[in-house]
């Protein structure tokens, strides 16, 4: 939870949104060891924290429409409604979910974080997953991550259209507009690979397949049987 602001920034900065429905899968691998933990932490607490950060590899599924986005991982699901800008985090294990009004978040410290986000294009290019990509560095709260983008990926044209739509939508909220539009000017491309290092743990996400397909609206709704849990935002 302590690096939720960074995760949210990266998700919004480089999550493509499209008018046509899109489905794609990425492979996410996490490796390394947690560093910079307080030295005075009790051993029991330290061991519990370290146990949560193990080397892992999983397939992440993404569902995208003009009105919402859904990301599925093995232990949680995230849904974002574009019209209301509500973000839902679902825990399939215990059938609970939390919700966050992203517009309200921008009135607090998230607004200050938005001002700090910086996207820097580089001259580095590389072929990844069959696509010629260009590297962009994104810095948030002093943490720099790398993003490899390509204009040749299926769905890029739709992505380009939605960036203009989002820019107009958030014109009344300069902070949120700055955060979201930082990386989706419609010129950079589709995210083929991202590399993020936080507290010594490096997560690499690589595009594996993508296709245009019709998606059910039910994918972007809270399933029956889930209980709403109150969420305390750690950075408020």
Q: Residue 75 burial by CB count (10 A; 0-12/13-18/19+): exposed, middle or buried?
A: exposed
Q: What is the pTM of this model?
A: 0.77
Please, what's the b/e burial string for 34-53 (b: 16 or more CB within 10 A of its CB; e: otherwise)?
A: eeeeeeeeeeeeeeeeeeeb
DSSP 222: P
125 close to 134: Cβ distance less than 8 angstroms: yes
Q: Stretch 149-176: mean pLDDT, rounded?
A: 70
In degrees and rounded to multiples of 5, residue 168 shows phi and psi of -70, -40
Give 181's pLDDT tier (boundaries 50, 70, 90): very low
- pLDDT for 183 equals 45
Higher pLDDT, 59 or 119: 59
Domains of the chain: 4-228 (2.50.20.10)
The pLDDT, as a whole number, for residue 196 is: 87
Highest mean pLDDT among 12-21, 39-48, 61-70, 219-228: 219-228
Task: For Cα atoms 194, 105, 189, give the angle at the middle one, nearest 5 degrees.
Answer: 30
Is 89's pLDDT higher than 90?
yes
Structure-token match 């599924």, residue found: 61
182 within 8 A of 192, measured Cβ to Cβ: no
The first and second tokens of residue 201, run together, are 């743990």
Q: Is the pLDDT of residue 175 over 60?
A: no
Q: Which helix (H) or strand (E) holds 7?
A: helix 4-14
Rounded to whole angstroms, the Cα distance separating 201 from 196 reads: 8
Share of the chain above pLDDT 70, in %: 66
Question: What rounded mean pLDDT belongs to the chain?
Answer: 77
pLDDT (tens digit per residue) in 27-84: 999 887 666 666 777 777 767 666 666 678 899 999 988 888 899 998 899 998 888 8
């Amino acid at each position: 939870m302590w690096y939720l602001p960074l995760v949210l920034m990266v998700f919004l900065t480089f999550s493509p949104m499209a008018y046509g429905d899109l489905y794609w899968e990425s492979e996410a691998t996490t490796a390394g060891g947690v560093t910079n933990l307080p030295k005075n932490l009790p051993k029991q607490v330290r061991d519990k924290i370290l146990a949560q950060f193990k080397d892992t590899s999983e397939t992440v599924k993404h569902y995208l429409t003009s009105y919402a986005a859904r990301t599925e991982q093995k232990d949680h699901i995230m849904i974002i409604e574009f019209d209301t800008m509500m973000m839902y985090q679902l825990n399939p294990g215990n059938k609970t979910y939390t919700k966050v009004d992203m517009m309200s978040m921008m009135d607090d410290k998230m607004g200050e974080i938005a001002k700090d986000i910086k996207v820097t294009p580089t001259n580095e290019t590389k072929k990844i997953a069959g696509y010629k990509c260009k590297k962009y560095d994104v810095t948030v709260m002093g943490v720099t991550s790398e993003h490899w983008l390509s204009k040749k990926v299926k769905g890029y044209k739709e992505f380009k259209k939605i960036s203009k739509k989002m820019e107009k939508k958030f014109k009344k909220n300069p902070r949120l507009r700055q955060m979201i539009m930082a990386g989706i000017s419609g010129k950079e491309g589709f995210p083929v690979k991202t590399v993020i290092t936080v507290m010594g743990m490096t997560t690499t996400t690589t595009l594996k397949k993508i296709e245009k397909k019709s998606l059910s609206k039910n994918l972007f709704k809270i399933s029956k049987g889930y209980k709403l849990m109150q969420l305390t935002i750690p950075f408020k």
